Amino acid sequence: MPTPRFWAALAVVTACSDAFTSSPDPGDVLDGPIDGLTPDELAAFVEGDRQFGRPFAPADGLGPIFNNVSCAACHSADGRGRPENVLFRFNGLGGPQLQDRAIPGAVPEILPAGAAVSGRLPPPVFGVGLIEAIPEATILALADSLDADGDGISGRPNWVTPPPWVPSDEPGAEPGPRLGRFSRKGQVSTLLQQVTEAYHQDIGVTSDFLPVENTNPQTSRAAEAADRVPDPEIPAATIRSVLAYIRTLAPPAPGADTPERQRGRVVFHSVGCASCHVPVLMTGPSSIPALANRPVYLYSDLLLHDMGSGLADDRPDGSASGVEWKTPPLWGLRVMRDFLNGDAFLLHDGRARSIEEAILLHGGEAQGARDRFAALTPADRTAVLDFIGSR
């Protein structure tokens, strides 16, 4: 079903803005366009929104094995997923992702015995175009892999090699190892790869970029024949349409600044949270002027950090080890529960049900900040939680 922001964007495109009078405030949604888009860019946004929400059936190319039927089915209102949408990454036969559903005639995968398994909650897709537009040098300037400043924080980049099917003119796909900035461990450097592999792995839909079906190696070739739709099942234009959509999705606006939140911001910095959750980074040049040379209040350094054994999944990704995770942005927390039936699912697998629980589960490099937070007075702790929850 089209969202309120879909209709708001459509109203702009068709110059009929007074035909729709009940859309929510733009800063309160997860699927609204970034400010400053041209009419053509807004039209592309609307079409990409349609493709993002399009459900696939076997007759459309779904499967033969898959996790869900559409992009939107995993990303609640384009925000974070729910526990029932957790994807399982593993090492072993049939990896790297478990496809636990199948179309009639095919067989879903089962986890190989002894496989190292990592549950991954689908991340929000809003704001990723802004993240893409942050210059690599800006992120690398925050890296301190040897902890040269002695603060106990040693964020480092995940250097990855884009697959050969990603065009070299895509941002993050230039020759040589590139900085990974997408997915839970920063193991993906380009949004085109992220979108293409989501269709291929999550929905089982082939494209011009990945035209060969993902099949279950635990079954016979006969089961693969259950998918009778010729490959590729979608053209490159569909991938690029969804890419244009997520590239121009705006992050929700933070809440109003209050004296309590101002106090919480000060304490947030004083206990060390901002060492990893860097408040603001600047974008550089972009082919989309609305994304260019602007501050991005994401509260992340987009680097890998050792988060301790309690959060370890023991599964490497690229150069990321089994205890490392990319610092997740904090934006969108203010409206998170509005789109998850009042719930909160935080950390890489959704195990934390509140911001406070997520903080107290931090370890490794974050242990010092976690302990300083735990030692705060009740009033200061409440102020920090109010500040974080207002992002």
pLDDT digit string, tens, across residues 50-78: 999 999 999 999 999 999 999 999 987 77
Does residue 215 carry a pLDDT above 60? yes
pLDDT at 12: 39
Does residue 31 carry a pLDDT above 80? yes
Domain encompassing residue 264: 259-389
pLDDT at 142: 97
Last residue of a domain, one of 247, 267, 283: 247
- Distance from C-alpha of 5 to C-alpha of 335, rounded to nearest angstrom: 15
Helix/strand number for the chain, H first, E second: 12, 10
309 within domain boundaries: yes
- Answer yes or no: do 315 and 206 share one domain: no
For the domain that residue 322 is a member of, what is the CATH number? 1.10.760.10
243 within domain boundaries: yes
- Answer yes or no: do 312 and 375 share one domain: yes
pLDDT at 94: 66
Work out the pLDDT band at 17, boundaries 50, 70, 90.
very low
Nearest to 123 by CA among 214, 249, 209: 249
Does residue 313 carry a pLDDT above 80? yes
Does residue 18 carry a pLDDT above 70? no
- Answer yes or no: do 241 and 277 share one domain: no
- Answer yes or no: do 377 and 287 share one domain: yes
- Distance from C-alpha of 130 to C-alpha of 283, rounded to nearest angstrom: 7
- Answer yes or no: do 240 and 278 share one domain: no
Helices (H), the chain: 4-14, 39-53, 71-74, 128-133, 136-140, 191-197, 221-224, 236-247, 259-270, 355-360, 367-374, 378-389
Q: What is the DSSP letter of 156?
A: B
- Answer yes or no: do 306 and 331 share one domain: yes
Last residue of a domain, one of 247, 274, 292: 247
Work out the pLDDT band at 92, boundaries 50, 70, 90.
low
pLDDT at 356: 98
242 within domain boundaries: yes
pLDDT above 90 coverage of the chain, percent:
77
135 within domain boundaries: no
158 within domain boundaries: no
43 within domain boundaries: yes
Does residue 163 carry a pLDDT above 50? yes
Does residue 211 carry a pLDDT above 70? yes
> What number of residues does the chain have?
391
Instruction: Choose between 122 and 76: higher pLDDT.
Output: 122
Domain count, the chain: 2
pLDDT above 70 coverage of the chain, percent:
92
Mean pLDDT for the chain overall? 91
Query: What is the rounded average pLDDT of the residues 283-311?
Result: 98
- Answer yes or no: do 314 and 368 share one domain: yes
- Is the torsion defined by CA of 272, 342, 345, 186 positive or negative? negative
42 within domain boundaries: yes
Which tens digits make up the pLDDT trace of 130-148? 999 999 999 999 999 988 8
pLDDT at 70: 97
pLDDT at 91: 74
- Answer yes or no: do 221 and 271 share one domain: no
- Answer yes or no: do 327 and 294 share one domain: yes
pLDDT at 7: 40
Q: Find the range with the poorest average confidence among 17-31, 224-238, 240-254.
A: 17-31
Last residue of a domain, one of 206, 225, 247: 247
Work out the pLDDT band at 5, boundaries 50, 70, 90.
very low
263 Ramachandran zone, left/alpha/beta (phi>0; psi -120 to 50): alpha
- Answer yes or no: do 60 and 201 share one domain: yes
Q: Which residues contact 214 (CB under 8 A, 6 or more apart)?
A: 65, 99, 200, 201, 204
Query: What is the rounded average pLDDT of the residues 223-243?
Result: 93
pTM for the model? 0.92
Which tens digits make up the pLDDT trace of 167-195? 999 999 999 899 999 999 999 999 999 99
- Answer yes or no: do 348 and 204 share one domain: no
Instruction: Choose between 48 and 81: higher pLDDT.
Output: 48
pLDDT at 10: 41
281 within domain boundaries: yes
- Answer yes or no: do 270 and 380 share one domain: yes
- Distance from C-alpha of 161 to C-alpha of 191, rounded to nearest angstrom: 14
